[in-house]
Copies of this chain bind each other. A is one copy, B any other.
Amino acid sequence: MINELARRRGFFWQSYEMYGGVSGFVTYGFLGARLKQNIEKKLRELFVNKLGIMEIEAPIIAPAKVFEASGHVDHFKEPMVECLKCGRRFRADHLLRESGKLSEAEAEKLNLKELKEAIEGHNVRCPECKGELGEPKYFLTMFKTTIGPYSEAVGYGRPEAAQNIFVEFRRLYETAREKLPFGVMQIGHALRNEISPRQGLIRLREFTIVDIEFFFDPEEPNCFLLKDFENETLRLVLAESRLRGSEDIIEVKVKEALEKSYIKVPWQAVFMTLAKKLLMELGVPSEKQRFIEKLPWERAHYSLQSFDQEVYVDRWGWIEVSGHAYRADYDLKQHMRFSGVDTQVFKEYERPVEAEKTIVKPLMTKLGPVFKDEAQKIAKMLEETKPEEVEVSFKEKGYYMLGEYKILPEHVEIRKRKVKEKGKRFIPHVVEPSFGSDRLVYVTLEYAYRVKEDRVILSFPRDIAPIQVGVYPLVSKDGLPEKAMQVYKMLVDEGFMVEYDEAGSIGRRYARADEAGIPLGITIDYETIKNDTVTIRDRDTWKQVRNHINVLPGLLHKYFQSKINFEDLGDLVK
- Which A positions have Cβ atoms within 8 angstroms of B? 7, 9-10, 13, 15-19, 22, 24-30, 32-34, 36-37, 45, 48-50, 54-63, 65-66, 78, 80, 89, 139-141, 143-150, 155, 157, 164, 167-168, 170-172, 174-175, 177, 188-189, 191, 193-195, 205-206, 335, 338-339, 341, 492, 495-498, 503, 561
B145/A141 in contact, CB under 8 A? no
Q: Give every chain B residue within 8 A of A50 (Cβ-Cβ).
A: 492
Task: Report how far A254 CA is from B45 CA in the complex, Å.
Answer: 41
CB contact under 8 A between A139 and B145, given known A55-B34, A66-B19:
no
Q: How far is the CB of A348 from chain B (nearest CB, A)?
A: 15
Known A32-B57, A177-B503; 14 more pairs at CB < 8 Å? A15-B168, A16-B63, A17-B167, A22-B147, A28-B56, A28-B57, A28-B58, A29-B175, A30-B55, A80-B149, A139-B150, A148-B193, A149-B194, A188-B189
Q: Are A66 and B16 in contact (CB under 8 A)?
A: yes
Of the A-B pairs whose beta carbons lie under 8 Å apart in the complex, a sample of 7, sorted by A's number, is A19-B66, A19-B167, A30-B54, A49-B497, A61-B205, A146-B193, A149-B195
Distance in angstroms from A192 CB to nearest chain B CB is 9
Nearest residue (CB) in B for A206 is: B59
Set of chain B residues within 8 Å of A26, measured between Cβ atoms: 58-59
Question: How far does the Cβ of A380 sit from chain B's closest Cβ, in whole Å?
Answer: 26
Report chain B residues within 8 Å CB of A177. Answer: 503
- Cα A56 to Cα B466 with chains together (Å): 12
CB closest residue in chain B, given A54: B30
CB pair B61 A143 closer than 8 Å? yes
The distance from the CB of A170 to the nearest CB of chain B, in whole angstroms, is 7
Establish whether residues A145 and B147, one from each chain, have CB atoms under 8 Å apart when the complex forms.
Answer: no
CB of B57 within 8 A of CB of A36, answer: yes
Chain B contacts for A89, CB-based, 8 A = 150
Q: Is the CB–CB distance between A195 and B148 below 8 Å?
A: yes
* A71 CB → nearest B CB, Å: 16
Complex-state Cα separation, A140 to B19, whole angstroms:
22
Selected from B148, B189, B339, B341, the residue in CB contact (under 8 A) with A60 is B189
- In contact, A58 and B15 (Cβ under 8 angstroms): yes
* With known contacts A10-B171, A145-B144, A177-B503, A18–B335 Cβ distance under 8 A: yes
How many Å from the CB of A346 to the closest CB on chain B?
17
In the complex the two chains form, what is the Cα distance from A497 to B55 in whole Å? 13
* A136 smallest CB distance to B (angstroms): 12
Roughly how many angstroms separate A149 CA and B24 CA in the complex, as a whole number? Answer: 12
Find out whether the CB atom of B57 lies under 8 angstroms from the CB atom of A27: yes
Residues of B close to A339: CB separation below 8 A:
18-19
Within 8 Å CB of A148, what residues of B? Answer: 193, 195
- Chain B residues near A56: list those with CB within 8 A: 27-30, 33
Minimal beta-carbon separation of A518 from chain B (angstroms): 15
A177 → chain B, closest Cβ, in Å? 7
Given A19-B66, A34-B55, A168-B17, check contact A10 B495 (CB 8 Å): no
Query: Complex Cα distance A175/B78, Å?
Result: 39
Docked Cα-Cα span, A33 to B175, in Å, equals 13
Task: Give the residues in chain B near A171, CB-CB below 8 Å.
Answer: 7, 10, 13, 17, 29
Q: Within 8 Å CB of A7, what residues of B?
A: 171
